[in-house]
Chain A
Amino acid sequence: MSKAENKRRILGPLIPGLTSLAKKGPSGWMVIIGTIIVLALVIMTTIGPWTTPHDPIKYHGPIRTPPSPQFPMGTNHLGQDMLSRILCGGSIMLQVSALSVIVCFLVGVPLGLFSSYVGGIFDRIVSLVIDAIYAFPGLVIAIAVAAMLGTGVVNMALSIAVVYIPSYFRIVRSQVLTIKELTYIEAARATGARWHTILFRYIFPNVIPSIAVVASINFADAVLTAAGLTFIGLGVTVDVPDWGLDLTSGRALIASGAWWVIAFPGLMIILLALGFTLVGDGLSELLNPKLQR
């Protein structure tokens, strides 16, 4: 079997899906490009440990070497190879951001739906608690929670989730407040629909586009917050290669002219955040039938 044939066999089923997305116009392309970016970074990180030219956590001698044939992205202040660290440094961020988005979604969305739909004193109390969390700067809360929980991927994800649950809650709640007064909800009630049917079949699908936007911002911000947590030592231990760790440790080296230590991890984080944002924005348009062509 020739190489070209093999390629066609693998990409074959993908092409119809891609072309139908491409037909949806700019928003379809945004989803495609965003997905490609995120997928590429996920694959790169997954196979990273086997593709690195050097050991990412071993000290290779010369510190702060500018990019050269031997070290294409230079070395950092400890003499570690930056290229190797870039190739496998995304794993923590991807895990943390994915996990935190899942936790936020599972807690914030149902809470917002119920609280807003039920209303009354229950809604008041939940809103007050959530607003109290919302009033703090995000990173401060994340640091406080992380300090209580300790280090590790799950704990980082949880502390980031605490910061973002209010965003989900508030978006969902305000949307439900508007939607539940619309005539089609009343019409659904007039056809004898049960409350959970109304909540999950009528209200929830209309909230999804807004949630998709929050989730994309959440993904992008989780990446940055994870970097911040790592910086103050509440993230992962220093023997795990991580873009956030490199970014924050590289900040001190700018003054000495070692731009490559901060530039490459920074670019990777931006790229990842961009990928998530593209997917989120594209989806929010695609999922809204009113904006469909």
Chain B
Amino acid sequence: MPILEIDSLIVDYRTSRGTIHAVEDVSFSLEKGETMGLAGESGSGKSTLGLSMMRLVPYPGVIAKGHIKIGGTEIIKLPEHEMRTIRGKKVAYIFQDPMTSLNPVKKIGEHFVELIRTHAPNTGKEQAFERAKDILKNLGILPERINDYPHQFSGGMRQRIMIGLAIALNPVLVIADEPTTALDVIVQAKILDLLESLRKIYGMALILISHDLSIILERCDKLVVMYAGHMVEYASSTELHERPKHPYTQGLLQSIPNVELSDQRLSAIPGSPPNMLDLPKGCRFWPRCSYAMKACKVKEPPLISVGRDHFVRCFLYGEEGTNVERNRKS
């Protein structure tokens, strides 16, 4: 049984100026121990999707339709007190900015004690402290520093502590929302290595949200590319790397710097993401797409299968676009 199943999920932001479908028609599933990447530009709905898995979409966001199953349990209609037993225990979330993710007036140890005792109220303080020290050791932080305040740690260390808090209760799924965006490149690699090694030790599934496709391709088993709330492509990392189908994915891959081809100019995707309140008719990507056809401007393309576990939302691969693809390759 998959650990996470999402089926035709729609998440709305009901603003005074109209309803935005921040996540629309997203479906995928995740097995135990798998790593999945969520890629896309800012505003593409990756974080909203991540937060909806914990039912923590901020106001005025609502999960409008669809199903989210965690370990077989449907969480959309779950009462709040049962939802609380899932948050932190079964699903953990790592936020983007480690500088503000820890309570500044609480010592590091108290963060662990608080978390452990929220889900196991009978645990003694001493016991929780011992557990915290063990985790700190795994994170490469001296256990003596358990009585230090968050501001006494560097950004990288704080993010390691956040990871420690996330894995403390042995969750089945960890969602890391751009865990390295606020950190420099060297620390970035270390944090991701740590996350990966801990994932292997604890056997949890991981969802890595990032705008950096290179990170995701390197570290994830499969990945979802999001554009303006839509899942535009879904495939395994190797498949996606070798045979990217959607023009947006192709654009993203071409914009990754390549060390061996240093004299080549980096290509960029022209234009900018659409205004979510005023989406283009038809495919949401057509104004920026160099393969845009007539059909793209009229109808929203459906998600179609283009190979084993490879889905794409583009007319180029449907009946309308068969010829176009052939022409493009030549």
A residues neighboring B (CB under 8 Å): 182-184, 186-194, 197, 201-202, 205-206, 289-290, 292
Contact = CB atoms under 8 A, between A and B. Distances in A.
Interface residues of B, number: 29
A182 B165 contact: no
B243 to A, nearest CB: 36
B151 A187 contact: no
Contacts of B102: 184, 187
A192 B104 contact: no
Contact of B105 (A183, A193, A206): A206
Interface in B159-185: 162, 165
Contacts, number: 68
Nearest to A208: B105
B93 A182 contact: no
A289 B152 CA distance: 10
B87 A194 contact: no
Interface stretch (B111-119, B289-297, B315-323): B111-119
A189 B84 CA distance: 8
Given A186-B56, A190-B92, A191-B118, A289 B97 contact: no
A275 B92 CA distance: 48
Contacts of A188: 103
A-side interface mostly: helix
A91 to B, nearest CB: 36
B129 interface: no
Given A192-B119, A289-B149, A205 B86 contact: no
Nearest to B87: A192
15 contacts: A187-B102, A188-B103, A190-B87, A191-B115, A191-B118, A192-B85, A192-B118, A193-B84, A193-B88, A193-B114, A197-B118, A201-B114, A205-B106, A290-B151, A292-B149
Given A202-B103, A205-B105, A206-B104, 9 more contacts: A182-B100, A186-B58, A190-B87, A190-B92, A193-B84, A193-B118, A194-B84, A289-B104, A290-B104
Interface in B108-166: 114-115, 118-119, 149, 151, 162, 165
Contact of B93 (A190, A193, A194): A190
B101 interface: yes
Contacts of B92: 190-191
B54 interface: yes
Contacts of B97: 183
* Residue of B54, B104, B149 most packed against chain A (CB within 10 A): B104
Contacts of B105: 205-206, 289
Given A191-B87, A192-B86, A192-B87, A183 B104 contact: no
Contacts of B151: 289-290
B302 to A, nearest CB: 34
A190 B54 contact: yes
A50 to B, nearest CB: 44
B311 to A, nearest CB: 29
A183 B51 CA distance: 13
Contacts of B149: 289, 292
Contacts of A194: 84
A206 B102 CA distance: 12
A206 B93 CA distance: 23
A187 B118 contact: no
Contacts of B114: 191, 193, 197, 201
